[in-house]
């Protein structure tokens, strides 16, 4: 995708605060590469997901996710966690920005900070995360390494709702991949990420449709 070809995903200012009708208003939180940000942006551009990415929040300067946001003309804000006195203080700043950008759905895509009830209670049942294992197996950090060390023959990824307990909210969607004999953490993670890029946009649409069906 060239920078010139990237469509704008920024929505015009809207007056309503909470809307779960399409287009969904997404706020993405990332700490690293941002390949899931990219796959969500591409799914929107391809009309596979009726949504807009209102803002990227990221917590480390110079990460690839921020460059990707620039290419897609997505507004971005750096919230360096080292500059906040507590997790709660960081989450208060996150909530303020998400409200400022009129975000309805919070999409954690490689966000490497534990979030607190300050954020979770501001967006009840509206925060999704993707994790590189078939939860409930291998929660927490280094999930791919954990899977390889356990000798599993099938690995995968999970999209789940976010609750205060890490990687424990109800599961929305999963995809499995085989573990091959010579896999390293890098080769297995790459295979898992191909599935992440496929299912995360689908899972966002599914979550929104479930809200609409109970309204
Ligand atoms: C993904 O593997 C995701 O499952 C995990 O962090 C990684 C983020 O990748 N939570 P990317 O930054 O979207 O490329």
Q: What confidence tens digit (pLDDT) does each residue in 6-31 have?
A: 443 433 333 344 445 669 999 999 99
Residue whose CA lies nearest to ligand 1 atom number 10: 110
Describe the strand order of the beta sheet including 171-178 as a list of residue ranges: 76-78, 51-58, 24-30, 105-108, 127-131, 154-161, 171-178
Is residue 5 very low, low, confident or very high in pLDDT (cuts 50, 70, 90)? very low
Interval between CA 151 and ligand 1 midpoint (Å):
22
What tokens were used for 27? 């706020």
Q: What are the percentages of helix, strand and coil residues in the chain, rounded to 5?
A: 35, 20, 45
Evaluate whether 71 touches 45 at the Cβ level (below 8 Å): no
70 pLDDT higher than 80: yes
What tokens were used for 144? 């791919």
Domain spans, the chain = 24-214
Query: What distances in angstroms separate CA 68 from CA 72, 81, 114, 120, 163, one per listed residue?
Result: 6, 21, 23, 26, 28
Atom of ligand 1 nearest to the CA of 196: 4
Q: What is the pLDDT of residue 79?
A: 97
Whole-angstrom distance, CA of residue 152 vs CA of residue 200 = 23
Atom of ligand 1 nearest to the CA of 144: 2
Quick check: pTM over 0.85?
yes
The pairing of strands 51-58 and 24-30 is parallel
Interval between CA 83 and ligand 1 midpoint (Å):
24
118 half-sphere exposure, CB direction, 13 A CA radius: 15
CATH of 24-214, one of 3.40.190.290, 3.10.310.30, 3.40.50.40, 3.40.50.170: 3.40.50.170
């Amino acid at each position: 995708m060239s920078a010139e070809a990237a469509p704008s995903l920024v929505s015009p200012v809207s007056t309503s605060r909470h809307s779960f009708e399409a287009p969904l208003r997404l706020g993405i939180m990332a700490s690293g590469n941002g390949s899931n940000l990219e796959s969500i942006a591409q799914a929107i551009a391809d009309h596979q997901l009726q949504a807009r990415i209102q803002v990227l929040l990221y917590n480390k300067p110079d990460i690839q996710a921020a460059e990707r946001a620039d290419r897609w003309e997505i507004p971005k804000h750096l919230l360096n966690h080292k500059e906040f006195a507590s997790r709660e203080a960081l989450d208060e700043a996150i909530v303020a920005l998400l409200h400022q950008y009129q975000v309805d759905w919070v999409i954690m895509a490689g966000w490497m900070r534990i979030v607190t009830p300050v954020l979770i209670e501001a967006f009840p049942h509206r925060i999704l995360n993707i994790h590189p294992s078939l939860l409930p197996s291998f929660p927490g950090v280094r999930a791919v390494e954990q899977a390889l060390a356990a000798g599993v023959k099938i690995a995968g990824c999970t999209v789940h709702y976010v609750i205060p307990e890490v990687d424990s909210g109800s599961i929305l969607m999963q995809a499995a991949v085989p573990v091959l004999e010579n896999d390293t953490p890098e080769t297995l993670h790459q295979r898992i990420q191909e599935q992440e890029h496929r299912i995360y946009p689908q899972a966002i649409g599914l979550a929104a449709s479930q809200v609409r069906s109970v309204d």
